[in-house]
Copies of this chain bind each other. A is one copy, B any other.
Amino acid sequence: MAPQPTPAVRVQAEDFDLGREQALLTRGRRDIGALVSFLGLCRDEDGALEALELEHYPGMAEAEIRRVADEALERWPLQGLTVIHRFGRIQPGEQIVLVLAAARHRADAFAAAAFLMDFLKTRAPFWKKERRADGASGDWVSAKSEDEAAADRWR
């Protein structure tokens, strides 16, 4: 067995670049067979949304993502794992979150990326507030029961 890779976890205000992260994960590697990426983007909700304000709990956000990443590494034989989550003001069309999972076989990479997203949604300490295009003060986004259900399917 190859040693478990160290997940790359970043919580940042700045944008990120999928192509660059892919290159960092695969550069010089000849043993990776499958790389699955999930990119979460800010939707404009048919024009109703001006921006999201993403609040987070510094320190715990990184720690919690790292715990979920370590759990993914125990469940699936992965060769690399990158998770980036932004905070601050994010406008429609902008990127919010990236998960990259590399494995020898595609089923492991798909499962790990889906697992990461389901658990980030319900466990990572981030909260979204909507700024509405009509100038009305927006609301905090409510947690969805379907996200809880999605996380429960891995138990």
Contacts and interface: CB of A to CB of B under 8 A. Distances in A.
Q: Is the interface of A mostly helix, strand, loop or mixed?
A: mixed
Interface in A3-43: 17-20, 22, 26, 28-43
Q: How large is the interface on A (under 10, 10 to 19, 20 to 34, 35 or more residues)?
A: 35 or more
A113 interface: yes
A28 to B, nearest CB: 8
Contact of A43 (B31, B93, B109): B31
A75 interface: no
A105 to B, nearest CB: 9
Interface of A: 17-20, 22, 26, 28-44, 46, 92-93, 104, 106-107, 109-110, 113-114, 117, 150
18 contacts: A17-B19, A18-B37, A19-B19, A19-B22, A29-B93, A30-B92, A30-B93, A31-B43, A33-B43, A34-B38, A35-B41, A37-B37, A37-B39, A38-B110, A40-B106, A106-B114, A106-B117, A110-B113
